[in-house]
Chains A and B, each alone.
Chain A
Amino acid sequence: MTEQALALRATGVRMEYRDPATRERLTAIERMDIEIPEGEFVSIVGPSGCGKSTFLKIVNGLLPATEGEIEIKHSKGGSDHAMVFQDSSLFPWYSVQRNVAYGLACRGVKRKEAFARALPFIKLVGLEGFESKYPYQLSGGMQQRANLARALTVDPELLLMDEPFAALDAQTRELMQVELIRIWSEAQKTVLFITHQIDEAIFLSDRVIVMSARPGRILADITIELPRPRDLDIKRTPRFVEYEEQIWRLISKQLSVGPEAAA
């Protein structure tokens, strides 16, 4: 229907986990169908345990889905996709620069070249001067910047982010949101972003996908028609608050009558 090229299409993705000891099956995701056009910023929100991380892992190729198909735009120069993990996923034994260059090393780029190519991204996320520091010498926010830079260096078509700011305090979090928007508009990436914060999802995204409680499926796919560029003040505008309330109502209904609550 749309003229625009797609970066990701998920059709009929279903996921069951099986307990190796008891052989019990647990349906984490009932069905997910998503299409993301190139360059779009899409967030997924939903109650805890509804299968958001699971879905991202499937897209990332870390987990095979039980059913369904994932199609991802093939990148010509860089990687198809890269993941920004939650906190403490930097290699503690590598310097910032070596961590950021890691994705390139995985693709067989020589150490020296990889280090050189990592530099602009270190600069982009504002970590200049910290290249040779070890992760423990960085603050939580700085670690997440390094994490982001690591994903960006491989020039992915699709950037996957699983609650990247969950471990940060509220202020650092807002700063990082602004930073992420800046980096996103500079780097021109398609982003699939997972969060628990409704305001974060609205602030960042072109579209917010709301998931049901487990077993997860899509409840709503809301297009955020807020003008860009956005700054933090937008969070206080009536339209923003309206979106917030709309999404909150969807999720809170899940919380009270969801299968989790019944059990």
Chain B
Amino acid sequence: MTTASPALRPVRNERDRKHRSPLQRWYRNHEAWVLGASGVIGFLLLWELGSRSGVVDQFFFSKPTDIASAAVREVQLARFWNDVKVSVWEFVTGYTLAVITAIPLGLIIGWYRRLSYMIDPWLNLFNSLPRIALIPLLVLWVGLGVESKIAVVFLGAFFSIIIPTVQGVRTVDRRLLDVAKSFGASQRLTFTSVVGPATVPFITTGLRLGIGRALIGVIVGEIYAQTSGLGVLIVRANENIQPDRMFFGVLIFTFSGILGVAALRRVEHYFDRWRPVSEER
């Protein structure tokens, strides 16, 4: 019965890891990290060596070491910190205003079905239109100063937040609303116990999108009306053909974006404690 038949082949089990060395196992567990780091380092090396050997045009693209030294120079300048202060102020004010208006408004609009139908076309129009196209108008209304940038940051974030919020309220699970109603929950309790928690993931999505839009608002606003701020730093550096300074300015925005999104992930995580943890990662 158990004689080997030539037609039978052993099944290869890909998960069979017993005969791997510890180093291989360590690599397996940290593969994404190792490969990612080597990707970044490789990219920087290629850029640096390419610039030094003339394959990459330093005139436009600078090189990593130059950017680093430009960064060191910049952070010692009072003007730089003034630019940072202005940009941060624009971002924080505009974004905060957007958050405190868009979330309550979105909850209200989403809750009253007919109201939401009435406002839909306007939301759709403003969402489909790059808010930075409104900058000339905003400048016309409030001038070239910091107010016009706050306004464009506000508009950028506002619609990114309000639209998913409305969406979230509208898609609340009917059964859970029935539960609240059947226990005689007050309107307020229905909101805090059902509508709020169910909408949180939508709101955080909006907040995350809003960060990107707000940052774009800061840059474009400052490029359009060049008073001061990091956007102005970028334009000036570019005009003076100082690509190292320019890239430094751009990188500040990159890291702000990454940090902002990471911070929001924390918030999201806190609110999502009740969700089953997904298997991956």
Interface residues of A (CB under 8 A from B): 57, 60-62, 79, 82-83, 85-86, 88-89, 91-94, 102-103, 105-107, 134-137, 154
* Closest A residue to B273 using CB positions: A134
Minimum CB–CB distance for A145 against chain B, Å: 16
A85 adjacent to B179 (CB under 8 Å): yes
B182 adjacent to A82 (CB under 8 Å): yes
B194 adjacent to A82 (CB under 8 Å): no
Instruction: Please give, as numbers and ranges, the residues of chain A lying within 8 Å of B194 by CB-CB distance.
Output: 91
Instruction: Please give, as numbers and ranges, the residues of chain B lying within 8 Å of A136 by CB-CB distance.
Output: 274-276
Beyond A62-B181, A93-B197, 5 additional pairs, beta carbon < 8 A: A61-B182, A85-B182, A89-B176, A91-B194, A136-B274
Instruction: Please give, as numbers and ranges, the residues of chain A lying within 8 Å of B193 by CB-CB distance.
Output: 91, 94, 102, 105
What 1/0 flags go to B178-201 for Cβ under 8 Å of A?
111111111001000110011000
A32 to B182, CA, bound (A): 21
A91 to B190, CA, bound (A): 12
In the complex with contacts A93-B197, A93-B274, A105-B181 CB distance below 8 A: no
Instruction: Please give, as numbers and ranges, the residues of chain B lying within 8 Å of A154 by CB-CB distance.
Output: 183
Instruction: Please give, as numbers and ranges, the residues of chain B lying within 8 Å of A85 by CB-CB distance.
Output: 175, 178-179, 182
A79 adjacent to B274 (CB under 8 Å): no
A135 to B273, CA, bound (A): 11
Minimum CB–CB distance for B183 against chain A, Å: 4
B-side binding surface: helix, strand, loop or mixed? helix
Instruction: Please give, as numbers and ranges, the residues of chain B lying within 8 Å of A102 by CB-CB distance.
Output: 179, 183, 193
Minimum CB–CB distance for B173 against chain A, Å: 8
A101 to B182, CA, bound (A): 14
Q: List 18 A-B contacts (CB under 8 A).
A: A62-B178, A62-B181, A79-B183, A82-B182, A85-B175, A88-B175, A89-B175, A89-B178, A89-B179, A91-B176, A91-B193, A92-B275, A93-B197, A93-B198, A93-B274, A94-B193, A107-B183, A154-B183
Minimum CB–CB distance for B73 against chain A, Å: 50
Instruction: Please give, as numbers and ranges, the residues of chain B lying within 8 Å of A57 by CB-CB distance.
Output: 178
B274 adjacent to A106 (CB under 8 Å): no
A61 to B194, CA, bound (A): 19
Per a CB cutoff under 8 Å, which of B175, B183, B275, B276 touches A103? B183
* Closest B residue to A103 using CB positions: B183
Minimum CB–CB distance for B41 against chain A, Å: 41
Minimum CB–CB distance for A173 against chain B, Å: 21
Per a CB cutoff under 8 Å, which of A82, A106, A137 touches B180? A106
A60 to B182, CA, bound (A): 6
Instruction: Please give, as numbers and ranges, the residues of chain A lying within 8 Å of B198 by CB-CB distance.
Output: 93
Task: List the 3 closest A-B pairs by CB distance, nearest first.
Answer: A93-B197, A93-B274, A106-B183
Instruction: Please give, as numbers and ranges, the residues of chain B lying within 8 Å of A79 by CB-CB distance.
Output: 183-184
A94 to B183, CA, bound (A): 16
A94 to B193, CA, bound (A): 9
Instruction: Please give, as numbers and ranges, the residues of chain A lying within 8 Å of B175 by CB-CB distance.
Output: 85-86, 88-89
Minimum CB–CB distance for A91 against chain B, Å: 6
- Docked complex: B101-123 residues within 8 A CB-CB of A: none
Pick the most buried of A62, A91, A154: most chain B CB atoms within 10 A of its CB.
A91
* Closest B residue to A56 using CB positions: B182
A135 to B197, CA, bound (A): 14
A62 to B174, CA, bound (A): 12
Minimum CB–CB distance for B247 against chain A, Å: 44
Minimum CB–CB distance for A53 against chain B, Å: 11
A94 to B273, CA, bound (A): 10
In the complex with contacts A89-B176, A106-B189, A136-B274, A82-B197 CB distance below 8 A: no
A83 adjacent to B273 (CB under 8 Å): no
Instruction: Please give, as numbers and ranges, the residues of chain A lying within 8 Å of B181 by CB-CB distance.
Output: 61-62
A92 to B184, CA, bound (A): 19
* Closest B residue to A95 using CB positions: B274
A94 adjacent to B189 (CB under 8 Å): no
Minimum CB–CB distance for B120 against chain A, Å: 18
Instruction: Please give, as numbers and ranges, the residues of chain A lying within 8 Å of B176 by CB-CB distance.
Output: 89, 91
Minimum CB–CB distance for B180 against chain A, Å: 7
* Closest A residue to B190 using CB positions: A106
Instruction: Please give, as numbers and ranges, the residues of chain B lying within 8 Å of A134 by CB-CB distance.
Output: 273-274
A201 to B67, CA, bound (A): 78
A135 to B180, CA, bound (A): 17
Per a CB cutoff under 8 Å, which of A94, A107, A137 touches B184? A107
Minimum CB–CB distance for B28 against chain A, Å: 30
Minimum CB–CB distance for B188 against chain A, Å: 11
In the complex with contacts A62-B178, A82-B182, A82-B183, A91-B197 CB distance below 8 A: yes
A88 to B174, CA, bound (A): 12
* Closest A residue to B180 using CB positions: A106
Minimum CB–CB distance for B185 against chain A, Å: 4
* Closest A residue to B277 using CB positions: A136
A88 to B173, CA, bound (A): 10
